[in-house]
Amino acid sequence: MNPEFFESAAMPLFDQLYNFAHWLTGDRTDAEDLVQETYAKALKGFRSFEEGTNLRAWMYRILRNSFLTSRAGLRSQNMMALDDDDDPELEVATSHSVTPELLLLQRESEQKVMTALASMPVHYREIVLLCEIEEMSYKEIAQVLAVPIGTVMSRLARARKMLRQALTTKFAEKASKWTVIKTPSR
């Protein structure tokens, strides 16, 4: 395969790969290094790529494998959740209904989701990111992770459950601190 074909096919994936790498590493510099390493490995091994197969899944797999063999990846892999065993989406507000309070609530909700995702073990975090953020099909995720589709579905169900529990636990903790003030009846 020629390098021009690689460039035209692989470069449009750069932003997606960077975003995924940033989610995995949690650090801009590490994400940049990981994407650079991914493209170097992909270009070097491009002869082994079978034309007609899924280039996107192939690139994500290289990125994932590079991450898992890196120091940050090994550190993340060794962390395990103690409990291994959907919330409705926020409505997009129209420009005339955006208030400072709404912006603050949205930013707070986004931060809670990002914190909950960051606290998940890598193999659950990556499957949520591939499915929900990168919008990959189960088949593509199975190719990237080199696991059967059934494993993708079960891991995704567990990951969503962990995310839901993390978010509802944080909400319950915050709600327990609220005080209810009753107004006297007249």
pLDDT for residue 10: 87
Given a contact cutoff of 8 angstroms between Cβ atoms, the answer to whether 131 and 158 are in contact is no
pLDDT for residue 134: 85
pLDDT for residue 186: 55
Nearest Cα neighbor of 127 from 146, 113, 111, 108 is 146
Tens of pLDDT, residue by residue over 6-62, are: 888 889 999 999 998 988 888 899 999 999 999 999 888 888 887 778 888 889 989
* CA distances, 172 to each of 82, 105, 137, 165, 167 (Å): 19, 17, 33, 10, 9
Which has more confidence, 132 or 91?
132
- Chain centre to alpha carbon of residue 9: 23
SS3 98: coil
For the chain, the structural domain boundaries read 1-78, 91-171
pLDDT for residue 8: 85
Pick the CATH number of 1-78 from 1.20.1530.20, 1.10.275.10, 3.40.50.300, 1.10.1740.10: 1.10.1740.10
Q: Which two tokens stand for residue 10?
A: 């692989």
Kindly indicate whether the domain formed by 91-171 is annotated with CATH number 1.20.140.10.
no
What is the rounded CA–CA span in Å between residue 180 and residue 184? 13
pLDDT for residue 114: 79
Tens of pLDDT, residue by residue over 73-90, are: 445 544 444 444 443 433
Average pLDDT, the chain: 77
